[in-house]
Amino acid sequence: MKRTEVTSRYDKHIKIGHIGPEGQKAMSSKRVVVIGCGALGTNIANLLARGGVGEILLVDRDIVELSNIHRQVLYSEKDIGNPKAETAARKLIEVNSDIKVNYLIKDVMSSNISGIVEGYDLIMDGTDNIPVRLLINDYSIKMGVPWIYGGVLGTGGMVMIITGEGPCLRCLIPELPEQGDVLTCETMGVLNTVPALTASVQVTEAFKVLMGKKPMKGLLQFDVWENDFSVHGFKKDPLCLCCGGKEFNYLDEDNEEQITVLCDESVQIILPGTSEADLSLIASSLMGIKNLKVNPFRLEFEAEGKNVTIFRDRRIIIRGTSDKGVARSLYSKYLGL
Amino acid sequence: MKIFLNGKEKILSSNISSLKDFIEVILSNEKGKIIELNGKVIKKVDRDKISLKDGDRIELIQFMGGG
């Protein structure tokens, strides 16, 4: 489709007073990176692309699985086994040929975040774990690039817009939770309307940021099943190490977990930190998971055809794959870290 | 003791005098919960050290990490 048809493409947006032709034009010159192309990420990318954001980069390390399709809107059955980022980009190019859509099949880490995100105007959170969000948060505050956190669980969702001055995610989560202290969609489930709604709020706020308008303040929390919506008037913590103290320890590569492929083709992850893993706490977060076994020395479970063993000394061995990305992804999904 | 829990008035029984007691007695599950006391997020390591007083405002936020 030719650019002469741009006006008719965005006609309904332009008619909204909050946007108008100037707002629509502003969005067409902006670049947004979407980290994570799961339920939030696909809904976010879909709305950004249809909304006419000029350039979108999709970043995800995973492949499409059957269990994704009930909520991850850019994938269909024929995409199973294909990389999410590439598949999503291909769909969006068909949706809007006026914009640029790029993709990266990568895990975002402290060692590569600058190279991936540099030059983008806004970071959208489509991730599924806390460490990568704290990494994005550090980058965002350090470099003054806004990011929009979104999270889902069961029938609930959350959104917060983080700009350079704070408050930031570390005002809310001052320390990384221990293994077993996070609830995940793998064990709690997620209603498919929740990521759609959460992403819709994230993208509405993204449009405001990209047009130079003031976004929502505070932390939006909702439970769509209970019809309970509220904005928590969340304030900056003056003692926050990140937005207050400008200490960006999640950007430090020494604080990142070590992942290695062992001789027997299994993958070992060693988490940073010194405290011992609380195996009974981890077991309580994995209730209902197949073949969960725990003894004083190790915890073991099976997921997606792989065996996961967690040791008290912060080592995790994942058998059934020699792919570091697959192993890291599996661990994130089940432990939320 | 009278406190405000997520904006609503709540009378605590006499066996609750600290944040630790509150967590043990009132919260069925602490997992993934952010606890804010009088506008300040309380780190997990500090939760055992804090006494509660009349009029305290506690906000419980269930962190949502899925995506």
In degrees rounded to 5, what are phi and psi of residue A247?
-105, 120
A31-35 sheet: strands from edge to edge: A100-104, A55-59, A31-35, A122-125, A147-153, A156-162, A219-223, A228-232
Question: How many residues in chain A?
Answer: 337
Residue A172 at interface with chain B, using a CB cutoff of 8 Å: yes
Neighbour-count burial of A149, counting CB atoms closer than 10 A to its CB (0-12 exposed, 13-18 middle, 19+ buried): buried
Q: For A279-304, what is the mean pLDDT?
A: 91
d(CA A336, CA A230): 24
**Residue listed under structure tokens 């506008």:** B39
Which of B44, B61, B65 is opposite residue A221, by nearest beta carbon? B61
Q: Flag the least confident range among A47-61, A186-200, A252-266.
A: A252-266
Beta partners for residue A278, in sequence order: none
Beta partners for residue A318, in sequence order: A267, A308
d(CA A152, CA A196): 10
Q: Which of A124, A188, A234 to mutate to test the interface with B (most CBs of B within 10 A)?
A: A234
d(CA A10, CA A49): 11
Check B65 against A235: CB less than 8 A apart: no
Which of B40, B61, B67 is opposite residue A38, by nearest beta carbon? B67
Q: What is the pLDDT of residues A14-56, one digit of tens each?
A: 999 999 999 999 999 999 999 999 999 999 999 999 999 999 9
**Buried b vs exposed e over A236-261: b needs ≥16 C-beta within 10 Å?**
ebeebbbbbeeebebbeeeebbebee
| Alpha helix ranges (H) inside A161-299 | 169-172, 185-188, 193-210, 279-285
- Portion 128-147 of A in contact with B at CB < 8 A: 128-130, 133
Neighbour-count burial of A16, counting CB atoms closer than 10 A to its CB (0-12 exposed, 13-18 middle, 19+ buried): exposed
In degrees rounded to 5, what are phi and psi of residue A8?
-70, -30
Q: What is the pLDDT of residues A162-188, one digit of tens each?
A: 998 899 999 999 988 888 888 889 889
Q: What is the pLDDT of residues A236-247, one digit of tens each?
A: 999 999 999 999
Check B61 against A219: CB less than 8 A apart: yes
How far CA B47 is from CA of A284, A335, B5, B52, in Å, comes to: 21, 23, 16, 11
pTM, two decimal places:
0.89
- Check whether B45 has a pLDDT greater than 60: yes
Neighbour-count burial of A40, counting CB atoms closer than 10 A to its CB (0-12 exposed, 13-18 middle, 19+ buried): buried
Q: For A145-151, what is the mean pLDDT?
A: 98
